[in-house]
Amino acid sequence: MKFKRTAARAPEAIQFARDQRATGNEFVQTVWVWIRNRQIYRQKFRREYPVPPYTADFCGVELNLVLELDGASHVTESGREHDRIRD
């Protein structure tokens, strides 16, 4: 899958990504410190990047790589059910 940067991304997806960046858990914050500013193999990563119909926690556009970190919401019964349906 190629990731394309387009100006036509849905405003709702962009706002969701902004909200997620503002409320990320401690682990997401830590990983972001590790991978930001081309610290890993000089590769650019984006945080909370809309990849319709999902929003990826981290996206390495040049590598076509998505990093998804599961937080506490994924270990609840409703979280497991949501993941089961999504997957």
Q: What is the pLDDT of residues 14-60, one digit of tens each?
A: 787 778 777 767 788 889 899 999 988 899 999 888 887 778 889 99
Q: What is the pLDDT of residue 3?
A: 56
Record the pTM. 0.65
Confidence of residue 2 (pLDDT cuts 50, 70, 90): low
Q: What is the pLDDT of residue 6?
A: 57
Rounding to the nearest 10 degrees, give the CA dihedral for residues 36, 38, 39, 45.
Answer: 40
Q: What is the pLDDT of residue 9?
A: 67
Query: Is there a contact between 9 and 50 (Cβ–Cβ < 8 Å)?
Result: yes
Query: Cα dihedral sign for 12, 14, 16, 18?
Result: negative
- Other Cβ atoms closer than 10 A to 49: 20
